[in-house]
């Protein structure tokens, strides 16, 4: 008994340390309904995977005036054109029960990962330098535009809109680059299934990032291509 009395407090300390060091998981609120819990599980598994990301799911409630008939089999699903990202909704339908029903629950999916943020408030027109950027955990799903993963994607670029300190740098914050001007000779790369061919052409319109450009090929054919780099366009076949 004497030895056990000495060991027991030590075991308690070990147990407490194990609990403190265990990875945190999002716990469902105690007042969530079984329907909300099922939607939460569905949302967590259906969220697009992001490397080293932490996912949080907030499930809304149904209209309290709504009375659903009992159901033996309920199926959550993602409605057409909906995305498991940010503010969205999940459908829930009764597959087996006296009355078939179909409802939608509002859901907010937050996906946290380390990305690059502004270290200070920056006005529109600022040219970004390395000191303007730092890594921090951000909600990737907070905005539709992609958050930049590497600082070189932003350094030297000009801001298209102002940024607050701590705000993640997104593609929409940056002014589009002009890869070539109308009249320039450009390299045209045509890519198909398992092959690619290249040649030269003349740009008929400016090659702005994110906007299609019209190109006249060496054979005289006019095509629409995607500007992807300095005097370079790609065409998908």
Beta-carbon contacts of residue 227 (< 8 Å; ≥ 6 apart): 179, 180, 207, 208, 209, 211, 213, 233
Q: Look at 144 and 20; give whichever has higher pLDDT.
A: 144
Q: What are the residue ranges spanned by the domains of the chain?
A: 32-111, 114-173, 178-236
Quick one: which of 177, 175, 176, 180 has its CA closest to 213?
180
| Cβ-based burial of 143 (10 A; exposed 0-12, middle 13-18, buried ≥19) | middle
Q: Mean pLDDT, to the nearest integer, of 4-19?
A: 38
pLDDT at 210: 84
Above 70 in pLDDT, residue 214? yes
pLDDT at 52: 65
Rg of the chain over all Cα atoms, to the nearest angstrom:
27
Quick one: which of 92, 65, 88, 61 has its CA closest to 76?
92
CA distance 20 to 182: 62
**What percent helix, strand, coil does the chain show, rounded to 5?**
20, 40, 40
How many helices (H) does the chain have, and how many strands (E)? 2, 12
> Is 178-236 CATH 2.60.40.10?
no
Q: What is the pTM of this model?
A: 0.66
pLDDT at 198: 92
Q: Which class is 114-173 in CATH?
A: alpha beta
pLDDT tens digits for 92-121? 999 999 999 999 999 999 999 999 999 999
Same fold, 114-173 and 178-236: no
81: left (phi over 0), alpha (psi -120 to 50) or beta: left
Q: Is 151 helix (H, G, I), strand (E, B) or coil?
A: helix
Q: Is 121 helix (H, G, I), strand (E, B) or coil?
A: coil
Above 90 in pLDDT, residue 17? no
Positive or negative CA dihedral for 172, 175, 180, 181? positive
pLDDT tens digits for 60-81? 998 888 889 999 999 999 999 9
Angle, CA of 119, 25 and 60, to the nearest 5°:
85
């Amino acid at each position: 008994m004497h030895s056990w009395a000495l060991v027991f407090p030590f075991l308690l300390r070990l147990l407490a340390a194990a609990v403190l060091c265990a990875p945190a998981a999002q716990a469902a609120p105690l007042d969530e309904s079984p329907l909300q819990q099922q939607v939460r599980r569905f949302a967590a598994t259906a969220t697009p995977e992001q490397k080293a990301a932490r996912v949080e799911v907030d499930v809304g409630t149904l209209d309290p005036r709504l009375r659903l008939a009992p159901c033996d089999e309920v199926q959550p699903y993602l409605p057409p054109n909906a995305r498991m990202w940010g503010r969205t909704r999940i459908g829930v339908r009764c597959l087996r029960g006296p009355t078939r029903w179909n409802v939608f629950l509002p859901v907010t999916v937050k996906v946290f990962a380390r990305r690059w943020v502004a270290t200070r408030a920056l006005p529109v027109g600022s040219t970004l330098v390395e000191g303007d950027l730092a890594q921090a955990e951000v909600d990737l799903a907070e905005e539709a535009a992609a958050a930049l993963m590497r600082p070189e994607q932003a350094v030297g670029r000009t801001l298209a809109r102002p940024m607050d300190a701590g705000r993640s740098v997104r593609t929409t914050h940056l002014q589009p680059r002009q890869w070539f001007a109308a009249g320039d000779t450009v390299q045209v790369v045509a890519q198909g299934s398992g092959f690619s061919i290249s040649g030269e052409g003349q740009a008929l319109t400016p090659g702005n990032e994110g906007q299609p450009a019209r190109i006249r090929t060496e054979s005289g054919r006019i095509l629409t291509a995607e500007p992807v780099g300095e005097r370079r366009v790609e065409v998908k076949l």
